Amino acid sequence: MRVTMPMISKQYSKNLNSNLSSLNEAGNKTTNFRKFNKASEDPFSAAKAYQLRREYQQNQDYQSNLSLAQSMLETAESSVTTINNIAQEVNSTDILKAITSTMASNDKKIVSTKLRATQEAIVSTMNTQLGSNYLFGGSGAASAPFTLDANGNLLYRGVNVNTGENSAGATSDVNGTKICFGVANTDLFNGYTITIEQGLNLGRGIESINVSGGNIAITLNAEGSNNGELQTALQNQLDNAFTAAGIGTAGMDFSKITVSGNASATVKTSEFVSGNMVKSTISNIVDLDALANEKIYVDLGLGLNVNNNNVQAQSAFNISMPGIAYLGYGTNADGTPKNIYSLLGKIADQLESGGFSMDNVKPYLNAFDDSQQQLLTKITDIGARTDTLEYTQKRLENMEDSLLAKIDKVEYENPVDAIMDYKMQQYTYTAALQIGTNILQPTFLDFMK
Amino acid sequence: MSSTFAGVYKALSGIQTSQLQLQVTGQNMTNVSTNGYTRQRADVYSVGSSGNNMRYASTTAAVGAGVMATGVSQLRDPYLDIRFRSENAKVGDTTTQLSAMSDIENVLDEVKTDGLEAQMKALVSQLQNLCEDAGNGVSESTVKTSASILVNMFNNYSEQLSSIRNQQKGYLKDNAVNKVNQLIGNISHLSEEIRMSEISGSSALELEDQRNSMLDELSQYVNIEIQKNSVDIGSGRTVDELSVYLVGASGTKHTLINNEEYAKFGFGMGTSATTGKECVNVTLTDLSGSTKTINSELSTGVFHGYLKILNENGEYDAGFAVIDPVSYNPTGETSSASGHGIGYYQLSLDTLAQKLAAVMNAANSTNTENKPLFASSVAGEQITASNIALSSQWENSTGAYITTTKQPSGVEDNSKATDNILAMIKEFSTDIDFQTENGVSLFTGTFQEFVTNLSNTLGLEQGNISSQNNTYSTTLATIDKQRLSVSSVDINEEGINLIMYNQAMTAACRFMTTLDESLDNVISKMGIVGR
């Protein structure tokens, strides 16, 4: 093949440029030791890298959730242990064990005063806050969970811990719409059912309210209604509806009826189950079991599984500690309350009353022993949860290490390799430059005479 | 018997020819570094003795009559030119696509910079944090801020991709189409000049070199075929006329240049008859003056590269009933997916924005209350990546807006329960089936995997086109080298030629002086006896 100067110079320049580009790339790698700077340089490694980074971020999220859960459990444990110590002290020979049928009235006074003071201590400890959260408030956010009503009964989030009566009065949940009928009206409404259905009148709003057969039937206009309209209608029309049904409404304050939530939220009609419209009960009794078993879940990477808004119990960590689960709730078979505060109150009442007898006090003392045992069980439960957290923490930390190692392997170059490569490219480039001058310069013309 | 002074003419022809050859060598040497220059040679023939005498045979020995230069010609291999131009089109095509893809990559790539996927991770982290303090409006504000950054990022991506699209349109219109029209005009004028010059006898080799360079450049833009027709101009002489054709994908040839007549390319915006999406049209106004769209005829070259980037929307082009663009009748076929141009990435982001908004809005709304988190900032329009924003309800809410729980509760306040927040977090790790509006499946995976899939699709395609580009470029360089091997000037060769022609000239001059001496003998020294 015929070879000419322009050919050689073009080829040389192209090769030199390609050497320079390799040198540049190698140089880039020594500045940040990354294997690739763009996904297009290595798409498969980039895909892996993205995935690993996601897992790493999730791991960090879990660890942060875990450290919060740990601090909550720590604080809770110390509070509950305090309660337990108080209970033990109360159950000692000084106080409860000192109650005999032959106690002097002064001694009775001393004991009952101590009991009242203990009650106060218990309430304030159970209202502990961590930051702005009430530790023992369960899912309730706004205010301190334990309060007292006008009669000195202990309320947990407005619910009497012994009877389950809601201090807000009778309420009903109709397919998502919550109606509260007011404390004053409890006697009237308790036991009724309520249904909401769609009527045929055009337009928006409430068509009619009828009371019959123990059921309040609300009919909406064809285009439906919202919470605000329903509230107004109930406040204004319910009185007449009851009167029309021949039921007395003396002493009822219908203006206290409220529909909770956003005033513009739509009112849903009652659901149908097996072809029958579901009648929602109006009741002022709240399920204390449900309150005591409320869960607040956080994701710790245990395989979160949520079905229809129900979080599967094993797939997340519960950080909820409803106060009544520790203090006890409800009543025993013999009518004695299970709640420690209430029991102390009852015992103090007995001591302060005129007709004191050991037979009356004994059931309460026995109940107190039982409730204290339950409290100990609950403390162990906190301990078990703390252990689970520790184990999970170790696991998460190990995963973090292994993820970091994997990320390093996928994305980063060994610094030694990168620098060696750069040196090689430098050498190649310099060699090419030197040879170039030898090829391009001499021609026949230099030797012509 | 030759005439007395016949030898002198022989010597003269030798001197003149050597002079011409030296001039040609000089021309070659001064143009050794000129791009596109083809080396020239004087066509030199020895002259035979004069023709046969019709009447009687000659008894004396016949000697040739010297040397004659008939002209100067170029040394070029036209077959290599054809191969070069067809390869050049492919290089132009892949280079254009690569440059646009690298612009898109700057927007979508998240290897070194934090982008859409990283922001989604941040939103999930904020939701995890919210579990600790659910129902608190203040804690929720961090989630709101994170979501706000996310929608801004969507808007940003969309805007950047739009601006890349506009840039590419501009390049096609201003750089490519105008350039090609300019080239076509120039080639046509040059052809005319070359033809005129050939008719008048001189071969215009330098103009031919210029035209060849322009044809090389033109070949980058469209797929051309060149034909040279020999035309008889009388007295046994022929002249070459040049025709340049655009070879379409179907094999049809569209005339671009026919001597001094030439066609013109144009640029227009329109919508595709089949998919209804915006598309860019390259039109050709042919020699008879009629204009038509020739998108389908451009199968390679820079034009094709731009058309692919601007008009092809990947899976978003599939599933439509194909409508013939000329007759506007359905052909009965269903369209299939095309290549991944800018439109694919823009529409993918739109699909992601819609899906994200739909899923999160449904998660936040209860069965009594519609509480959307995301909405379109333009009333009445469907959510796209460019108009996605926080819903006005969320923006204006002062307290807690995120639905933390959907569990029924007998007590008034159970907002600290976190089941709905966890449900929302779970949505981010649930596989979702992403589809185009026609139900063509795009990708099945989580939101974040969708984003990284876009970046990876682009990366893989870039890698593919880049290796094609490298292959074509290398082949082009090899063909160019072969071309240069045939037609470029070798200094060594020209140097040797210099010596050779110089010697030839010296020899011819010496012959002249020898003749001069011999004639001098005949004229001056013969017949002086008896003086």
- 3-class state of residue B333 by DSSP: strand
What is residue A201's predicted lDDT score, i.e. its pLDDT? 83
Asked if A43 has any chain B CB less than 8 Å from its own CB, the reply is yes
Pairing between strand B278-285 and B264-271? antiparallel
Yes or no, beta carbons of A50 and B117 under 8 Å apart: yes
Yes or no, beta carbons of B423 and A306 under 8 Å apart: yes
Yes or no, beta carbons of A265 and B368 under 8 Å apart: yes
The answer to whether the beta carbons of residues B381 and B357 sit under 8 Å apart is no
Asked if B476 has any chain A CB less than 8 Å from its own CB, the reply is no
Q: Which of residues 403-422 of B touch A (CB under 8 A)?
A: 405-420, 422
Asked if B396 has any chain A CB less than 8 Å from its own CB, the reply is no
Considering only the beta carbons, identify the residue of A39, A138, A298 that sits closest to B111: A39
What is residue B51's predicted lDDT score, i.e. its pLDDT? 65
Instruction: Give the C-alpha separation, B121 to A57, whole Å.
Output: 7
Any domain includes B25: yes
Take residue B107 and report the two structure tokens written for it. Answer: 């927007």
For B221-250, letters b (16+ CB in 10 Å) and e give bbbbebeeeeeeeeeeeeeebbbbbbbbee
pLDDT band at A39 (very low <50, low <70, confident <90, very high): confident
Any domain includes B503: yes
Considering only the beta carbons, identify the residue of B134, B366, B486 that sits closest to A176: B366
In sequence order, what are the residues at sequence separation of 6 or more whose Cβ sits closer than 8 angstroms to the Cβ of residue B335? B274, B275, B317, B318, B319, B320, B321, B322
Tell me which H or E stretch contains B153. Answer: helix B137-170
The alpha-carbon gap from B380 to the nearest alpha carbon of chain A, in Å, equals 21
What is residue B53's predicted lDDT score, i.e. its pLDDT? 63
What is residue B181's predicted lDDT score, i.e. its pLDDT? 95
Any domain includes B41: yes
The alpha-carbon gap from B134 to the nearest alpha carbon of chain A, in Å, equals 8
Partners of residue B410 in chain A, C-beta under 8 Å: 159, 166, 171, 173, 286-287, 290-291
Partners of residue B429 in chain A, C-beta under 8 Å: 304
Any domain includes B391: no
Yes or no, beta carbons of B495 and A445 under 8 Å apart: yes
Any domain includes B47: yes
Q: How many domains does chain B have?
A: 1
Considering only the beta carbons, identify the residue of A37, A166, A261 that sits closest to B112: A37
Considering only the beta carbons, identify the residue of B111, B406, B482 that sits closest to A309: B406
Instruction: Give the C-alpha separation, A351 to A369, whole Å.
Output: 18
Considering only the beta carbons, identify the residue of B136, B411, B490 that sits closest to A5: B490
The alpha-carbon gap from A365 to the nearest alpha carbon of chain B, in Å, equals 31
In sequence order, what are the residues at sequence separation of 6 or more whose Cβ sits closer than 8 angstroms to the Cβ of residue A241? A209, A210, A211, A216
What is residue A41's predicted lDDT score, i.e. its pLDDT? 87
Instruction: Give the C-alpha separation, A339 to A161, whole Å.
Output: 7
- In chain B, the residue whose alpha carbon lies closest to the alpha carbon of A60 is B125
φ, ψ of residue B277 in degrees (nearest 5): -90, 160
Q: Higher confidence at residue A39 or residue B351? A: B351
CA-CA distances (angstroms) from residue B75 to A218, B26, B35, B205? 102, 16, 15, 11
pLDDT in tens, A396-406: 999 999 999 99
Instruction: Give the C-alpha separation, B406 to B307, whole Å.
Output: 51
Q: pLDDT truncated to tens, each residue of chain B (531 aa)?
A: 567 787 888 899 999 999 999 999 999 999 988 888 999 999 999 988 776 666 776 677 778 888 999 889 999 998 999 999 999 999 999 999 999 999 999 999 888 888 999 999 999 999 999 988 887 778 889 999 999 999 999 999 999 999 999 999 999 999 899 999 999 999 999 999 999 998 888 878 999 999 999 999 999 999 999 998 888 888 888 888 889 999 988 888 999 998 888 999 999 998 888 888 889 999 999 888 888 888 888 999 999 999 999 999 999 988 888 887 777 788 878 888 888 999 999 999 999 999 999 999 999 988 778 889 999 999 888 999 999 999 999 998 887 888 888 877 767 777 788 889 999 999 999 999 999 988 889 999 999 999 999 999 999 999 999 999 999 999 999 999 999 999 999 988 999 999 999 999 999 999 999 989 988 888 888 887 776
Q: Which of residues 421-460 of B touch A (CB under 8 A)?
A: 422-423, 425-426, 429, 448, 452, 455-456, 458-460
Instruction: Give the C-alpha separation, A300 to A317, whole Å.
Output: 7
What is residue A49's predicted lDDT score, i.e. its pLDDT? 93
The answer to whether the beta carbons of residues B343 and B462 sit under 8 Å apart is no
The answer to whether the beta carbons of residues B336 and B316 sit under 8 Å apart is no
Yes or no, beta carbons of B484 and A287 under 8 Å apart: no
Beta sheet of A206-212, edge-to-edge order: A206-212, A215-220, A193-198, A280-281
pLDDT in tens, A122-156: 999 999 888 778 888 888 766 888 988 888 888 88
Q: Find tokens 């001694």 and name the residue.
A: A107
The DSSP output letter for B467 is H
CA A65-A69-A70 angle, to 5 degrees, is: 115
Asked if B475 has any chain A CB less than 8 Å from its own CB, the reply is no
Any domain includes B519: yes
Any domain includes B43: yes
The answer to whether the beta carbons of residues B395 and B377 sit under 8 Å apart is no
Instruction: Give the C-alpha separation, A162 to A328, whole Å.
Output: 9
Secondary structure (H, E, C), chain A: CCCCHHHHHHHHHHHHHHHHHHHHHHHHHHHHCECCCCHHHCHHHHHHHHHHHHHHHHHHHHHHHHHHHHHHHHHHHHHHHHHHHHHHHHCCCCCHHHCCCCCCHHHHHHHHHHHHHHHHHHHHHHCCEECCEECCCCCCCCCCCEEECCCCCEEECCEECCCCEECCCCEEEECCEEEECCHHHHHHHCCCEEEEEECCCCCCCEEEEEEECCEEEEEECCCCCEHHHHHHHHHHHHHHHHHHCCCCCCCCCHHHCEECCCCCCECCCCCEECCEECCEECECECCHHHHHCCCCEECCCCCCCEECCEECHHHCEECCCCHHHHHCCCECCCCCECCHHHHHHHHHHHHHCCCCCHHHHHHHHHHHHHHHHHHHHHHHHHHHHHHHHHHHHHHHHHHHHHHHHHHHHHHECCHHHHHHHHHHHHHHHHHHHHHHHHHHCCCHHHHCC
The DSSP output letter for B317 is G
The answer to whether the beta carbons of residues B131 and A298 sit under 8 Å apart is yes
- In chain B, the residue whose alpha carbon lies closest to the alpha carbon of A179 is B412
Beta sheet of B278-285, edge-to-edge order: B264-271, B278-285, B291-293
Q: Which of residues 185-244 of A touch B (CB under 8 A)?
A: none
In the A/B pair of chains, how many CB contacts fall below 8 A?
223
Take residue A359 and report the two structure tokens written for it. Answer: 């037979």
Domain that holds residue B506: 6-75+489-524
What is residue B458's predicted lDDT score, i.e. its pLDDT? 93
Backbone angle region of B529, left / alpha / beta, with phi > 0 → left and psi within -120 to 50 → alpha: beta
Instruction: Give the C-alpha separation, B272 to B281, whole Å.
Output: 10
Task: Quote the distance between the C-alpha of residue B334 and its chain's center.
Answer: 30
Yes or no, beta carbons of B415 and A139 under 8 Å apart: yes
Any domain includes B19: yes
Residue A77 has pLDDT above 60, yes or no: yes
